[in-house]
Amino acid sequence: MPRGKSKKPTDSQLSAELFLRSINLRYDAEQPDRIAHFHPTTKGVSLLKALLGQERERAFFIVAPYGTGKSLTVTYLLHYLENRSSSADALKTIGRKLSAVSPELGRRAGQRRRSGARGLVLALHGQYPSLPKGIQEAAVEGLRRQR
């Protein structure tokens, strides 16, 4: 191959990168294509229901090995709650997959997407020297995503 020319990645390389790259709630909040491959599981559905307030418990401590979908699940939830038009295709794709695992939650996801209702998500990630400052920064980021 001539010097200075790079090979175009194959579809399988692109698919592998999409699947294998770890998710970061803050960095992927504006990238709906980063969650489109999400395949909800029964455990993921339980987590989604709990975080959506459909379960009795209101305090959560989530522990699972790397790569089990914790960040992917909450990043999907961010897109679900914010319901931005840029996320519509990914939300529709995931909604179909969600319906196969939980018809009720899949139906609700579709209704929310079609309703146009939008929420504001404050995505706190990592450690903050000042919690009020962290909340302020997360609010500014959330409002910016709503534009």
Domain membership of residue 143 (yes or no) is no
Q: Residue 101: give the domain boundaries.
A: 22-119
Domain membership of residue 83 (yes or no) is yes
Helix (H, G, I), strand (E, B) or coil at 101: helix
Residues 6+ away with beta carbon under 8 Å from 116: 83
Helix (H, G, I), strand (E, B) or coil at 49: helix
Domain membership of residue 28 (yes or no) is yes
Domain membership of residue 89 (yes or no) is yes
Domain membership of residue 4 (yes or no) is no
Domain membership of residue 17 (yes or no) is no
Domain membership of residue 135 (yes or no) is no
Q: CB of 105 within 8 A of CB of 92? A: no
User: Could you tell me the pTM of the whole model?
Assistant: 0.82
The per-residue pLDDT for range 31-75, each reduced to its tens digit, is 999 999 999 999 999 999 999 998 888 888 888 898 888 999 999
- What is the percentage of the chain residues whose pLDDT exceeds 90? 63
Q: CB of 99 within 8 A of CB of 106? A: yes
Number of domains in the chain: 1
Confidence bin at 8 (pLDDT 50/70/90): low
Domain membership of residue 27 (yes or no) is yes
